[in-house]
Structure formats: C-alpha cells, structure tokens
C-alpha cells in the first residue's frame, strides 16, 4: 500500500477540515459530531493497520495540524466568551451599585 492513502485517513482529514470550519463559525454542535465520526475512523485505522506508510504518516500529520488549529480557534472562542461574561458581571455590579445609591437619595 505504499504511496496510497488509506481511505479512512483521507475521510478523517476531510472531517478535520470540516471541524476547523465549524470551529471558525462557532458551531460547537457540528464540531462535536464531526469529532465523534473522525475518532471512529482513526480508531478503525489504528486497529486495522500494522505498519503506517509514509503517505499515511503525512496525512496523520495534516490531521494533527488541522486539529491543533481547530483547538486554537475553540480556545479563542472560550476566552472571548469568558471576557464577555466578566464584562456582563461588571455591568450588573454597576447597575446594582447605581440602584442602591439612587434609592438613598
């Protein structure tokens, strides 16, 4: 099988690209279902392969790189949401403080 890419890996790479796109769009539900499908393919490849060809190693490296990018995008989204929640809490405290001072007048 030298030079030929395992079909499961080729599909897993396509799913990885779809996952990156879903992450960039903030579609976490699609991201989770795509990851589940990709995980099944990768496990199937691992369980059915005794020796990994150079072509398959290259595809695995691409999958890994794409996965790292998707993780980075999701981490950025998580931090952004955290900042939004922090700002909302500051706003709630300011409104509460203003309401307390206003009722004392």
Query: Tell me: the pLDDT tens digits for 84-98?
Result: 787 888 888 888 888
Model pLDDT for residues 26-82, shown as the tens digit of each residue:
999 999 999 999 999 999 999 998 899 999 999 999 999 999 999 999 999 988 888
CATH number at residue 40: 1.20.58
Domain assignment of residue 1, yes or no: no
Q: Does residue 46 form part of some domain?
A: yes
Distances (CA, A) of 18 to 4, 27, 48, 71, 99: 22, 11, 24, 13, 48
Neighbours of 100 (CB within 10 A): 9
How many folded domains does the chain comprise?
1
**Does residue 45 belong to any structural domain of this protein?**
yes
Q: Domain range spanning residue 75?
A: 7-104
Is residue 2 one of the residues assigned to a domain? no
d(CA 14, CA 11): 5
């Amino acid at each position: 099988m030298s030079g030929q890419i395992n079909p499961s890996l080729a599909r897993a790479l396509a799913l990885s690209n779809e996952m990156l796109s879903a992450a960039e769009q903030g579609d976490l539900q699609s991201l989770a279902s795509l990851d589940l499908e990709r995980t099944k393919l990768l496990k199937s490849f691992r369980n059915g392969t005794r020796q990994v060809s150079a072509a398959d190693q290259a595809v695995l490296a691409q999958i890994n790189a794409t996965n790292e990018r998707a993780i980075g995008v999701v981490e950025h989204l998580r931090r952004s949401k955290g900042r939004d929640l922090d700002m909302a809490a500051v706003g709630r405290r300011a409104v509460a403080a203003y309401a307390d001072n206003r009722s004392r007048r």
